[in-house]
Structure 1
Amino acid sequence: MEKFAKIKELVASVETDAEKFYNAGNAAAGTRVRKGMQDLKNLAQEIRAEVTEKKNTK
């Protein structure tokens, strides 16, 4: 559950930059959004692996 909480925090932190990019056209904010999304992808993959491992050990 710890990593799931990190995902929620990450999404919240990217939200401000997403608004700046989509509404104000701030290119630097777009770069931060892309980095945040990559971090989110990696964290989600870690959670998937944990879930699969836990499911298969039972």
Structure 2
Amino acid sequence: MAYSQRRRGDLVFYYQPGTHTIWHVAIYLGHNRVIESWPPCVMVAPISNNQRNVIAGIKRPFI
């Protein structure tokens, strides 16, 4: 699915630039925000930041 077609509830997959290995998944909330778990907490954050800025793709899990 195209990044521009993302909708609330979509899964956002991030990959490691050097290896192209998926290393993190978040749930898109809309307005360029995701909810994610980084132990020891769950947080709402921008879809992209310094720690996770390479998005591998967006997937709508329930269609």
Common topology (TM > 0.5) = no
Larger RCO of the pair (alpha carbons < 8 Å, separation 6+): 2
What is the TM-score with the length of structure 2 in the denominator? 0.24
Between structures 1 and 2, the one with greater strand share: 2
Between structures 1 and 2, the one with greater helix share: 1
* Rg comparison, structure with higher value: 1
